[in-house]
Structure 1
């Protein structure tokens, strides 16, 4: 299963990196899923 996740709009570097780190943590915890980080600007 492919999961595309991330903020709708990039609001700043700090929050964007925190979201990306959490998605990475989830990807490590659930290797049976494919995660893609996506954000718009």
Structure 2
């Protein structure tokens, strides 16, 4: 059977290239900054 067009419309043939962002030094995660305190 030829499922390709059906799968394509459902968006199942595209590779989702999203990845976890790398952790940066000085931060708790990729973006989360260490807890800030005024004093």
Q: What TM-score comes out, normalization by structure 1 length?
A: 0.25
Q: What TM-score comes out, normalization by structure 2 length?
A: 0.26
Larger RCO, structure (CA 8 Å, separation 6 or more)? 1
Give the helix-richer structure, 1 or 2: 1
Give the strand-richer structure, 1 or 2: 1
- Larger Rg, first or second structure (1 or 2): 2
